[in-house]
Chains A and B, each alone.
Chain A
Amino acid sequence: MSVGVAVNENIIQFDLPVCFQQDLLYISENYCAADSPGMLEFKRIGFHRSKFDEYDYDELYNFVNNRLNLLGFMLVNPMVVYLITTWPGQAYTAHQDDTLVVHVPITTNPHCRMLIGDNTYHLTTDNFYLTNTYKCHSAFNLGTSPRTHIVFSAKEKS
């Protein structure tokens, strides 16, 4: 069983089983970011963060948490699950977070990149990623379709 592949100190890539990929397809077909009340937050700070309650995240959460545990990390709070959308032509303000962040891409395009330190990464839908958001980071979408990710907060196991 492959645990995860550390691309470098900024990001660890994990395989996502096919059953979860089908679940993500269901979310992408039923979730419409434009209708979400999170749009107000997007206008205020540039993040379009919202929730999609028609999917039970427990299984995904447990799977991600188990994988992280093998490498000495853990998810912070199972109740805090957000979907973040980056619109075409949008970039986030470069910032640092208090926690690590797990990204589970739902929809993306080849021109979406996450910028961590001086490197950029394309996050694909058949994987999930633990990202070192303690470092200054940003994300941008140079494509023509929205990029939506499920995000979980994570930290090192004490």
Chain B
Amino acid sequence: MISTTDMQTAKSHTATLQAQETYAELIHRLTRTNVFSANAVDNNLANSIANKFFNCSSVYSHVLYLPSRTCFRFAKPTMVVPLFVSGDTVIVNNKHTIVKCTNDSIFYNNGLGVVNTGAPSCLLVSQ
């Protein structure tokens, strides 16, 4: 006889597997798409980060997918939160100094550029 606890564990396990599949599918889809794409997302998270770290507010946010060998420059003051990046992604500011774009960093400046010299990357971008 299967106990209630076992059922809950099984459900939880199934949910985890489904979540993993969904995440894997998402990455698979993103990395196979050989075009630049930006999808609008909820602004709450970006707004919280902007308030906490830069004492400013975010008006709208996008998830930006950058394929390999592409780059993009933002004309307005922009906050960039790396979601998944390889070690080959760099951030260029308007004075053309560069910073390695790593998952534990958040960037905010006017005229930021994101340069992808390696694997595809995904960034939360808000203005």
Query: Is B a genuine binding partner of A?
Result: yes
* Interface of A toward B, CB cutoff 8 Å: 46, 89-94, 111, 113, 115, 118-120, 122, 138, 140-143
- Distance from A136 Cβ to chain B, minimum over Cβ atoms (Å): 9
State A122–B113 Cα separation when bound (angstroms).
Answer: 15
The answer to whether A93 and B117 have CB atoms under 8 Å apart is yes
A46 touches B69 (CB 8 A): yes
CB distance from A75 to the nearest CB of B (A): 27
Given A89-B36, A120-B96, A122-B96 in contact, is the A142-B71 Cβ separation under 8 Å? Answer: yes
A57 CA to B42 CA, complexed, in Å: 56
Closest to A113 in B: B96
Find out whether the CB atom of A89 lies under 8 angstroms from the CB atom of B98: no
Residues of chain A contacted by B115 (CB below 8 angstroms): 91, 115, 138, 140, 142
Q: Give the total of B residues in contact with A, Cβ under 8 Å.
A: 18
Q: Which residues of B contact A92 (CB under 8 A)?
A: 69, 117
Number of A-B residue pairs having CB atoms within 8 Å of each other in the complex: 54
A94 touches B73 (CB 8 A): no
Kindly name the residue among A46, A89, A119 whose own CB sees the greatest number of chain B CB atoms within 10 A. Answer: A89
A52 to chain B, nearest CB (A): 24
Please, which residues of chain A bring their CB within 8 A of the CB of B97? 120
Q: Which residues of B contact A (CB under 8 A)?
A: 36, 68-73, 88, 90, 92, 96-98, 113, 115-118
Within the assembled complex, what's the spacing in Å between the Cα atoms of A94 and B72? 17
B116 with A115: CB separation less than 8 A: no
Chain B residues in 8 Å Cβ range of A46 = 69
Other A-B pairs beyond A91-B117, A138-B117, A142-B115, 17, CB < 8 Å? A89-B71, A89-B72, A91-B70, A92-B69, A92-B117, A111-B113, A115-B90, A118-B98, A120-B92, A120-B96, A122-B96, A140-B113, A142-B71, A142-B73, A142-B92, A142-B113, A143-B73
Residues of B within 8 A of A138 (CB): 115, 117
Between-chain CB contacts (< 8 Å), 29 pairs: A46-B69, A89-B71, A91-B69, A91-B70, A91-B117, A92-B117, A93-B68, A93-B69, A93-B88, A93-B117, A94-B88, A113-B92, A115-B98, A115-B115, A118-B98, A119-B98, A120-B92, A120-B97, A120-B98, A138-B115, A140-B71, A140-B92, A141-B71, A142-B71, A142-B72, A142-B73, A142-B92, A142-B113, A142-B115
